[in-house]
Structure 1
Amino acid sequence: MDWTADPWPVVEREREYETGWYTGGYDRVRQPNGTEKDYYWAALPDAVVVLAVDGDDVVFVEQYRPVVREHCLELVAGIVEDGEDYETAARRELREEAGLLAGDVTLLESFACSTGILRHDRGIVVATDLTETDRDLDDNEFLTVTRVPADDALARARAHPANDATIEGVLLARADGYLD
C-alpha cells in the first residue's frame, strides 16, 4: 500500500462541542473500499509527564481524581502551555506541583496517545539535580508530594488505581537507565 497517498479522505469534519479542556467531534471518512464512516475524536492540548529523580527516590504526587473517584499516586504532570516545549513545561509543572526546581531535564520520548479516539500528544521528561522551592498549586490541585524508592517505583506505579502516564514514565526512565 502506498502510505503517501491518502486512501482515507475526510469528506466532513464536525466539531460537536468545546469545553475549556477539550474539543470533541467526528470526521466522516471515505474508507479505501469507498464506504463512509464517522470516526469520533476528542482533541486535547499536549501534556508533559515528569519523572523526577531525587537521590534514590522518585517524586510522586497523590491526588483525588473525581472522574475515577479514586486517590491516585502519579508522576507530576500537566498541560504544555502556549510557547512551551516539553522541557520548559516539565520545569514549570515540577515547581508548581512538587515545589522542586530541576537543574537538568531530559525529554525521553514524545508520542501520540490513544490514537483511536484522541488527538493528544504526551512528552515524558526526566528531571534531576533537584532543589526545593515553594509550590504554586492551581485552585483545583490538592496534591500531596510522596517520595518512593526508585526500586519500588514500578510496583507503586502499577498498583491500583494505576494510570497510563505514570506507568509509561517509569518504564521509559527505567529503560533509559535513570532507574536501576
Structure 2
Amino acid sequence: MAERDPWPVVESATEYETGWYAGGYDRVEQPDGTEKAYYWADLPDAVVVLALDGDEVVFVEQYRPAIREHCLELVAGVVEDGEDYETAARRELREEAGLRADDVALLQTFACSTGVLRHERAIVVAEGLTETERDLDDNEFLTVTRVPADDALARARERPANDATIEGVLLARADGYLD
C-alpha cells in the first residue's frame, strides 16, 4: 500500500509570468490537516563558471538593477534548451568574457533558496582558456576583471557579496582548484 503524501497539493496556481520566470503558489495540506499557501518563483536552471586563467580567476563586473549596485561576480547565465551545464558554461564564458575553455568540470548542482524558488544552479570550473570574441546580450554591460586566485574568496566576500559567486569560489576551493 502506498504511503499518503504528507503534504498533498490541494491547489496550484501561476499568478504571473514575466517571460523570464513565473510566480505563483501551491496550497498544501500540512501534516496537522490545516491548509496553507506557499508562494514560489520558478526560474530556469543556471550555471556559474569559475574560470581559471593561470593563477587568476576571471570575474565580471556588472550593475544589478534589483539591488542598485555594481557587483563583482563569476560568469553566469541561464541554461538554454538542449544544453547541459558544461555546454552552457562554455557558451556563457565565451559570450560574457570572450574566453574559450579547453576543459570544463561540473563541480556541483543544487537547489537554490528552497523556501521560495524552484531553481537549480550548477557550478562549473573552466580551464585552458583562450581569448575569443565576446557576444554580450543587449542588457549585458560587463567588464572582465582578473583576480589573483589567492584573493578570489576575499574579493567574492566584498559587499555587495553575491551568493552564486561565493558558492562557486568555495566549491572550487573545496575541490582543490584554489589554494
Alignment TM class, shorter chain as reference: over 0.9
Aligned counterparts of 1:119 and 1:132: Cα–Cα separation in 2: 35
Moved segments of 4+, more than 6 Å: none
Look up the match of 1:84: 83
Deviation at 1:134, TM superposition (A): 0.5
- Aligned-residue offset at 1:144: 0.3
Shift of 1:5: 4.7
Kindly indicate whether residue 31 of structure 2 is the aligned counterpart of residue 22 of structure 1: no
Please report how far the alpha carbon of residue 65 of structure 1 lies from its aligned counterpart in structure 2 after TM superposition: 0.5
Question: Structure 1 unaligned runs (5+)?
Answer: none
CA deviation map 1:52-74 (0-9, x unaligned): 00000000000001110000000
Identity of aligned residues (%): 84
CA distance in 2, matches of 1:26, 1:149: 44
The residue number in structure 2 matching 1:6 is: 5
SS of alignment partner, residue 17 of structure 1? strand
| SS at structure 2 position matched to 1:140 | coil
**TM-score (structure 1 length as normaliser):** 0.97
1:39 alignment partner in structure 2: 38
Tell whether 2:148 aligns with 1:144.
Answer: no
Q: TM-score, normalised by structure 2?
A: 0.98
Name the amino acid aligned to 1:47: A
Shift, 1:88, TM fit: 0.2
Tell me which residue corresponds to 2:167.
168
Q: Which secondary structure state, in structure 1, belongs to the residue aligned with residue 172 of structure 2?
A: helix
- Supply the AA of the counterpart residue of 1:72: C
Q: How far, CA to CA, are the matches of 2:169 and 2:87 in structure 1?
A: 20
The 1-side partners of 2:94 and 2:158 are apart by: 26
What is the alpha-carbon root mean square deviation over aligned residues? 0.7
- Structure 2 residue runs of 5 or longer lacking an equivalent are none
- Distance, in Å, in 2 between the alignment partners of 1:143 and 1:15 is 33
In the alignment, the residues of structure 2 paired with residue 158 and residue 133 of structure 1 have an alpha-carbon distance, to the nearest angstrom, of 29
1:123: which partner in 2? Answer: 122
Aligned residue for 1:105?
104
Shift of 1:101: 0.2
Which residue in 2 is equivalent to 1:58? 57
Structure 1 residue 89, shift from structure 2 partner: 0.1
- The one-character-per-residue Cα deviations of 1:6-64 (angstroms, maximum 9, x if unpaired) are 20000000110001111000000000000000000000000000000000000000000
Aligned residues: 177
